[in-house]
Structure 1
């Protein structure tokens, strides 16, 4: 069930991105979609629910699901999504270059994390590119107390796929801080920045379902390549 509705979600999202379902148009009905994909209406409803949550559509009572005017290649601020998942869902055709994998201690002061103990971690630095143009520099610190080893092949593919599907970890939530900063010499080099550009930095601490902290991430983004957005839905508090 999970793989089926996920595949349908990505197929419809891809059609929305490529304007096969234009902004302002209505998706086929649940019955039509179930016939189109050869599956149950329950599976279609799950796929539509994901499209709704992620801002692709809005359900109009008595009419169906209308396609929203949301530009893609926007970077979602909320939620926890791996770069591989984002790359696939937004059709960025991005490539990953692994720059470094080595043992380091987490620079906790960068992440505003208060502790007196050293935190041994595997440091993974990766450069994300589109058409050979660098767009994001990711620096991850994975605590060795949770994940003792990370291979080059895993870093080149997806850390989250490895954590969840190979190690069986359940990733639950993260805290994020977003700042605009002057790039370091290294960041200027890897992101091909000119002398006067700033960068957008997202620093996060990620936790497992049992509240175990296991990952510190620093993502440095070229500001000319991304918009940073959140899609919010109204929730009444009684």
Structure 2
């Protein structure tokens, strides 16, 4: 029985389409809907899940957005996802570390090694994109995956965007705090990925075991008002890191 069918029929609309989306995603990832196959018809899905056509369309729109399916005019919805050779840590859309860990089915913990208030000087403003003189909160976190320290994150948040931020909050999830307690709407992230030589600080905090280079992802993240509230540099052991994206060609 589909998981969504077990939910209360009176549940919130978002919970319904989100649950159906996750149910269908699981069916794609476990091969119940194989690569290049067509999903059941919209009518069949509405009957199976006991929901409206609009709810099914919203669930399919999420699958499309995340690169799992592609609607084909006049034919249906084709599965375009196929399993990848897994890295330890796969980065995709805008996710908290906790969300990514859950998606990757990992055992993980976060250790905060630094948390301080600072003011953006000229060099830091140039590096992060935060305004010169902005009050910031910087957080350094070591991410331990399956018992190994594999990721070192250094973040710079606008101080006004994270009032009351503590090490305990940072060890759990800053994004959960932003969205759940402060009501922040996280909208867009711009990312750059490079390969850079490991530093003495990396070697001190990470289990890099003689690895000379790290995959470094720098991201600037914006809220729904277009304000860049976070800059993060995330340093990964390269043999455990994978970045994946879904791109759509623009029609000129």
Q: What TM bracket, shorter-length normalisation?
A: 0.7 to 0.9
Q: CA deviation at 1:222?
A: 1.8
Of residues 138, 155, 158, the one that matches 2:173 is 158
- Give CA deviations for 1:120-145 in whole Å, capped at 9, x if unaligned: 33332333343223332222222212
Contact 1:98 1:156 in 2 (8 A): yes
Unaligned runs of 5+ in 1: none
CA distance in 1, matches of 2:114, 2:45: 45
> 1:1-238 to 2 correspondence within 5 Å?
1-71=13-83, 74-76=90-92, 79-88=93-102, 90-105=103-118, 108=124, 111-113=127-129, 115-117=131-133, 119-237=134-252
Bigger radius of gyration among the two: 2
The 1:189–1:101 alpha-carbon spacing in structure 2 relative to 1, beyond 3 Å, is: closer
Normalised by the length of structure 2, the TM-score is 0.79
Contact 1:94 1:128 in 2 (8 A): no
Normalised by the length of structure 1, the TM-score is 0.84
- Give CA deviations for 1:89-111 in whole Å, capped at 9, x if unaligned: x3433423222352142572673
Unaligned runs of 5+ in 2: 1-12
Aligned residues: 233
Contact 1:111 1:216 in 2 (8 A): no
SS at match of 1:108: helix
SS at match of 1:142: strand
